[in-house]
Amino acid sequence: MTLFRNIKIIDSQSPFNGQSKDILVENQIISRIEPADSIPVSPEMTVIDENGACISPGWMDMQVHLSDPGFEWKETMSQTAAAAAKGGFTALICYPETNPVPDNASIIKALYQQSKNQNTCFYFAGALTEHKDGKDLSQMYEMHTEKAIAFTDGLKYPQSAGLMLLIKQYISPFNALIIVNPYDKSLIGEAQINEGNTSLQLGMKGIPEIAETIALDKEWHLQQYSPVRTHIQPVTSPKALSSIREMKKKDHRISCGIPSYYLLLTDDCLLDFDTHFKVFPPLKSKAQVNQIIQAIAKKSIDVITSGHFPQGLEEKNCEFEVAEAGMLNLQTAIPVAWEALVESGAIQTEALIDMISHYPRKITGIQAVTISEGQPADFTVFSAETPWTFSEEMIPSTAKNSPFTGKQFSLKIIGTYPLNGKWQKN
Amino acid sequence: MYHLLGIKYISEENINDIFQAAENFKEVIHRPIKKVPSLRDMTIANLFFENSTRTRISFELAEKRLSADVINFSASGSSVKKGETLLDTVNNILAMQVDMIVIRHSVPGAPVYLSKHIKAHIINAGDGTHEHPTQALLDGFSLKEKFGTLKGLNVAIVGDILHSRVALSNIFALKKCGANVRLCGPPTLIPAHITELGVTVSHNLRETLEWCDAVNMLRIQMERQNIRYFPSLREYSMQYGLTLPLLESLKKEIVILHPGPINRGVEISGEVADCSNSIILNQVENGVAVRMAVLYLLAQANKTTQKVS
């Protein structure tokens, strides 16, 4: 039995939203919600009583680049789970980043098997195409029967419109979800950073925004021809976001998401070639980031993710051009989003919780969770009143590629209670 | 100045110090005994991970005229392809007690990356499409020698701006010294938004030449172009090649620079390269003096007065 004493409920779907209550959890179920400081403490209870604590439905991350199996020297699945818990996530959707690539049912099955004993709910996405090489359809139906939560080629977007159409047509009978990040490879070439002042200063080719918008338009034509549940992620172009806003008005099957670091970091960070800031798609300019935040304030984005992508020391400690893209962000994702969105006044706490709890479950078709009596316990406890500093020692993974070490955050995660799991305090 | 990683990392004052020292060293290299003992306690490694003849010889000569001990290392292709990381290669060389390295590398930012990990002084001798600071310094020095000052001077840079580290370093150096810069070349070889760097852009060579006091003609960097940015050298030359008739049709005389190697008949005709307004060979000579100045000033610097941004 765990008693959460005098805790503020942040949950747009809960009848107690905005109220401070005592919450008792028994046998993985929220058994009682009573007025604050009213439930008497019994000896068998663990009592959590933290200053300024809030509780929300468990956070769910729709973009984790899993390293295990294949790249265990970056991060094992247990380390991913540990980082997720520290970051407040009770559920993760893992991209098919592993080796072997999950492009068939047996690998999906093995991944679920491997994740069974973790104190975090893992969901796995299968590849859209065989080996994620953008040529032939993967065995999506069988993966779907083995509970592949979505299909994506990760950060690789199949360039052929013909292939994308086949994919959409093929999956439509079983109503699967695809996750794509449309870009036109021919407009990117070998460029690795955003086109703008930074690319000029560094003498490097830049990726123009039209690389995203042109491909998105193509995706929209395909979607109208053969509509399926399509989640566009990561979308980092403000122009693409305003197009998606219009598309969503016409087609409710479309949704989109963005990793939180795109909301706080700008391409200025790359001015001394720091590989920690190398991500794909690349960081955007200050002006573009402001536009993205304004788009979030207008509810154009459904989901905030971590975009967590572990890379080993060797992949990052090298020349910029040969460094791998990606950054750790499971532990910092929501503190970063909090700073960029809530602290800045762009949105309210409740709106952020919707984007990291309710919408990811709605988009992926996972059962909704809410803070009310009789509901299974699946929640995150956090406080915005305890500043803390993120340090390298806090990272459970072997990979340490976070640009946020040494940074102070205002949002602190106190602990998580994953579905069918146990309370884990930070 | 502890390193010279790029013009963008140094001040106008640094540039003037280099010009001043270069003037003194230019006098030295015209003496019967062209050598001074300034760096006789220094060991310098020239690490060329990319082909170079002129820059490498110019640095080597500058080092030898300052009495430094010199070792040369050349490797084609990036060290990564050979299985050894750049940092490992450099650390191996530094373990032999090298004080300063001159590095040319195909990857932009490679010298900046090294500067975060090693103690030796670093001179960037060209890093991919990023910077080539000593070339910009010798171009600036040559212009200053010719015109007395760079302030208010109109300088045009013509050619493949997109792939040129010489162009970028020149833009930074000329702007810092108060010159006006205009870029000219096919739109496919001019980076988008380049005017944000405070330069103007033209696609008309005649207009550009009418405007400028000096023109720096760049070579087409075929080796960096993995796609065709223009249909043929013939078409390029028709639009952006500097010929004697064109030069003679102008109402004024302009000074002609070229960082070399020259592709005669492409960006510049033979007669123009050899004409009296061309200071191409002065540039080469000044290159040694400017590099001596940079080596000398860095050797004087203390680690505390570092570094990038």
**ipTM of this predicted structure:** 0.89
**What's the whole-number average pLDDT of chain A?**
96
Q: What region, left, alpha or beta, does residue A223 occupy, with left being phi > 0 and alpha being psi -120 to 50 degrees?
A: alpha
Residue A205 and residue B112: Cβ atoms within 8 Å? no
Q: Taking CB atoms and an 8 Å limit, are A319 and B131 in contact across chains?
A: no
Contact A319 B8 (CB under 8 A): no
Q: What residues are paired with A123 via a beta bridge?
A: A93
Q: pLDDT value at position B305?
A: 47
If you write DSSP's letter for every residue of A173-212 in order, what string do you get? Answer: GGT-EEEE----HHHHTT--EESSHHHHHHT--EE-THHH
Q: Which residue of B has its CA nearest to A194?
A: B192
Q: Name residue, tokens 């030449």.
A: B209
Amino acid identity for residue B305 in this structure: T
Mean pLDDT of B6-25: 97
B224 vs A194 pLDDT, higher one: A194
Q: Which fold has domain A55-364?
A: TIM Barrel (3.20.20)
Nearest by Cα to B216 from B290, B286, B142:
B142
Ranges of each domain in chain B: 7-132+284-303, 133-282
Nearest to B110 among A205, A271, A319 (CB): A319
**How many whole angstroms separate alpha carbon B238 and alpha carbon A132?**
46
Determine the average pLDDT of the residues in A240-264: 97
- Rounded Cα distance between B266 and B246, Å, is 14
Distance from CA of B165 to the nearest CA of A (A): 7
Q: What angle do CA A344, A180, A367 make, to 5 degrees?
A: 75
Mean predicted confidence (pLDDT) in A59-72: 97
The rounded distance, in Å, linking the Cα atoms of B82 and A342 is: 49
H, E, C per residue of chain B:
CCCECCHHHCCHHHHHHHHHHHHHHHHHCCCCCCCCCCCCCCEEEEEECCCCCHHHHHHHHHHHHCCCEEEEEECCCCHHHHCCCHHHHHHHHHCCCCCEEEEEECCCCHHHHHHCCCCCEEEEEEECCCCCHHHHHHHHHHHHHHHCCCCCCEEEEECCCCCCHHHHHHHHHHHHCCCEEEEECCHHHCCCCHHHHCCEEECCHHHHHHHCCEEEECCCCHHHCCCCCCCCHHHHHHHHCECHHHHHCCCCCCEEECCCCCCECCCECHHHHHCCCECHHHHHHHHHHHHHHHHHHHHHCCHHHCCCC
- Pairing type for strands B154-158 and B214-217 reads parallel
Q: What is the mean pLDDT of residues A150-167?
A: 97
| Chain B, nearest residue to A268 by Cα | B309
The Cα A330–Cα A80 span in angstroms is 8
Counting one residue from chain A and one from chain B, the pairs whose CB atoms sit within 8 A come to 73
Interface check for A259 against chain B (CB to CB < 8 A): the answer is: no
- At residue A276, does pLDDT exceed 60? yes
How many Å apart are CA A60 and CA A93, to the nearest integer?
8
Examine the pLDDT at B78 and tell me if it is beyond 90: no
User: What is the tens place of the pLDDT at every residue in A173-182?
Assistant: 999 999 999 9
Distance from CA of A197 to the nearest CA of B (A): 7
Cα end-to-end span (Å), chain B: 12
CB B53 within 8 A of CB B74: no
Percent of all residues in chain B with a pLDDT value above 90, rounded to a whole number: 82
Number of alpha carbons in the 13 Å side-chain half-sphere of residue B5: 24
Residue-wise pLDDT for B212-263, tens only, equals 999 999 988 777 667 788 988 999 999 999 999 999 999 999 999 999 899 9
Share of chain A above pLDDT 90, in %: 99
Give pLDDT tens digits for A198-218.
999 999 999 999 999 999 999
A215 membership: H or E segment, kind and range: helix A210-225
Rounded to whole angstroms, the Cα distance separating A39 from A47 reads 11
Decide if A245 touches B, using CB distance below 8 A. no
Distance from CA of B196 to the nearest CA of A (A): 7
- Write the CB contacts of B231 (distance below 8 Å, at least 6 apart in sequence): none
Domain ranges of chain A: 55-364
Alpha carbon of B275: minimum distance to chain A alpha carbons (Å): 32
| C-beta neighbour count of B81 within 10 angstroms | 10
Statement: residue B308 has pLDDT above 60? no
| pLDDT value at B6 more than 70 | yes
CB-CB contact of A86 with A54 (8 Å): no
CATH number for region B133-282: 3.40.50.1370
Domains B7-132+284-303 and B133-282 in one fold: yes
CB A295 within 8 A of CB A238: yes
Assign B81 a pLDDT band (cuts: 50, 70, 90).
Answer: low
> Is residue A313 less than 8 Å (CB to CB) from chain B?
no
For chain A, positions 162-221, list CB contacts with chain B under 8 A: 189-190, 195-197, 199-206, 208
Which CATH number is associated with domain B7-132+284-303?
Answer: 3.40.50.1370
B76 class by beta-carbon count within 10 Å (0-12 exposed, 13-18 middle, 19+ buried): exposed
* Six token digits for residue B166: 């010489």
What pLDDT does A329 receive?
Answer: 98
C-alpha span between A138 and A158 (Å, rounded): 12
Q: What is the mean pLDDT of residues B111-128?
A: 95
Q: How confident is the model at residue B82 (pLDDT cuts 50, 70, 90)?
A: low
Give me the mean pLDDT over the A325-337 stretch: 98
Average pLDDT, chain B: 92
